[in-house]
Structure 1
Amino acid sequence: MAVVRVHNFSISLDGFGTGEGQSLEVPFGHAGERLHEWFVGTRFFRAQDGLSGGTQGADNAFAEQHNRGIGAEIMGAGKFGPPGWQDDPDWKGWWGPNPPYHTPVFVLTTRPRPSIDMDGGTTFHFLDATPAEALAQAREAAAGADVRIGGGPTVVRDFLAEGLIDYMHVAQVPIVLGRGVRLWDGLESLEQAYTIEPVSTPSGVTHLTFTARR
């Protein structure tokens, strides 16, 4: 069966996956881009933008796993747009006419709208659904490939709470945010359901991989 995966999901030392005060001007709130500096500096990420250079080593090796074998993505409303995007009928996400997904993407929202076809093979579908219901639709759309749970932290947490994630890569970044949306709340004893392996890198990031014990 296809695997349900999380990749390159960055959190702070105190467990926040995004900062407070998300808006059109600051998509990650007061965290800015600090959670993702390790990722955007990798050779993998720069190559996606047609740029050369970038860091290699373990950070890049984890980054490179992001797209391999993915046939569909599930994301939350907060990843698709800033608060209130549902009131803008022209909003089509942060990524311009050719988003980086190139697969069906299922956006979880209490205010669904018609699907949007984008350049490059991305189609955004909008669902008011439980994690299990959304996953069933994503699996069908993925046609045997894996499904990526893209975030934000609330969505990842909800899928973890229902035992729906098979593999997860979390990048713990050496910053303290103090406020925002935490990943781990309500997930006591998660370590009993997963084998966890840490890898530390010279950038200061600790990569944590969680593999479900089935």
Structure 2
Amino acid sequence: MTRTRIHNFSLSLDGFATGADQAPEAPMGHAGQRLHEWLVATRFGAPILGRRGGTAGVDDAFAQQHEPDIGAEIMGAGKFGPPGWQDDADWTGWWGPNPPFHTPAFVLTHRPRPSIEMEGGTTFHFLDAAPAEALQAARAAAGGRDVRIGGGPTVVRDFLAAGLVDHMHLVLVPIVLGRGVRVWDGLEALEEHYRIEVVSAPSGVTHLTFDRKAP
């Protein structure tokens, strides 16, 4: 059965998964790269910044689970581009001509546009849809494989609130951002619906995995 998964989703000690003041030159706002330093230091994440090598160990083992058996991705408008990207007809995302998804990718926006076919197998589709409707479309495109909820925090929160997430990997980073977009608002008692495992890594981050309990 197709599962809905979240991987490598980093948040601060005070619950923010992105900083304030997002802009073309600051995709994560005032948080910069601090939420993802653990990731880009790994073998999996080093190529994100054009680096070679990277660390093995706990962080890399978790990071590597991001890719296998994913057939489609769902993301929010804020992950696809900075505020106002809908007014730029030439905007095709942060990632250049060959985005790292290599699957159909569904962008949730109140201003849909025609689909964009990119190099490497990524096609961006733009939907004005509720979580359940978007998931139905993504599952149809996933070819029997799993659907990844890629963020940002508002999309993750909405899918959690709708009860649509089967597996979630969160990474608690020991920083305090103070402002930005929080994940947990409105999700009281979420933990009751999941089996939760916690692993601390030498890098200082803490990996939390949430697996939905059987009904």
User: How does the TM-score come out when normalised to structure 2?
Assistant: 0.97
SS at match of 1:43: coil
Cα deviation, 1:37-70, whole Å, max 9, x if unaligned, reads 0001101122567743211111000000011100
Q: Find out whether 1:7 has 2:7 as its counterpart.
A: yes
Conservation of the 8 A alpha-carbon contact between 2:40 and 2:47: no
Does the 8 Å contact 2:16/2:179 carry over to 1? yes
Q: Secondary structure at the match of 1:64?
A: helix
- Residues 78 and 152 in structure 2, CA contact (< 8 A), matched pair in contact too: yes
1:46 match = 46
Who is 1:124 aligned against?
Answer: 124
- Cross-structure match for 2:101: 101
Structure 2 residue matching 1:72: 3-state secondary structure: strand
Q: Deviations over 1:126-159 (max 9, x none)?
A: 0000000000000000010000000000000000
Looking at structure 1, the residues matched to 16 and 62 of structure 2 have their Cα atoms a distance apart, in angstroms, of 20
Which shows bigger deviation, 99-108 or 52-61? 52-61
Which amino acid in structure 2 is aligned with residue 187 of structure 1?
A: L
Q: CA-atom RMSD, angstroms? A: 1.0
Q: Which letter maps to 1:53?
A: G
CA distance in 2, matches of 1:158, 1:47: 30
SS at match of 1:159: helix
- Is the 8 Å Cα contact of residues 166 and 211 (structure 2) preserved in structure 1? yes
Deviations 1:6-55 (A, max 9, x none): 00000000110000000101111110010000001101122567743211
Q: Which amino acid aligns with 1:138?
A: A
Partner SS for 2:74: strand
**For 1:48 and 1:145, how far apart are their aligned partners in 2?**
24
The aligned residue for residue 167 of structure 1 is: 167
Structure 1 residue runs without a partner (length 5+): none
Which residue in the other structure is 2:154 paired with?
154
TM-score by length of 1: 0.98
* Residue 62 in structure 1 maps to residue 62 in structure 2: yes
Per-residue deviation, residues 58-102 of structure 1 (Å, max 9, x unmatched): 100000001110000000000000000000000000000000000
Distance in 2 between residues matched to 1:125 and 1:134, nearest whole Å: 10
Q: Distance in 1 between matches of 2:20 and 2:213?
A: 34
* Residue equivalent to 1:210: 210
Aligned length: 214
> Any stretches of 5+ residues in structure 2 without a counterpart?
none
Question: Pairwise mapping of residues 127-138 of structure 1 onto structure 2 (< 5 A)?
Answer: 127-138=127-138
Q: Distance in 1 between matches of 2:81 and 2:177?
A: 21
Greater shift in the superposed pair: 70-79 or 49-58: 49-58
Tell me if the contact between 2:40 and 2:48 (Cα under 8 Å) persists in the aligned partners: no
2:44 partner SS: helix
Partner residue of 2:85?
A: 85
- With 3-12 and 51-60 compared, the bigger mean Cα shift is at 51-60
Deviation per CA, 1:105-138: give whole Å up to 9, x if none.
Answer: 0000000000000000000000000000000000
Counterpart position of 2:183: 183
**Is the deviation greater in 106-115 or in 52-61?**
52-61
* One-letter amino acid matched to 1:12: S
Q: Is the 8 A contact 2:40 2:49 kept in 1?
A: no
Determine the C-alpha separation between the residues in 2 that align with 1:87 and 1:51.
33
Q: Residue 14 of structure 1: SS of its match in structure 2?
A: coil
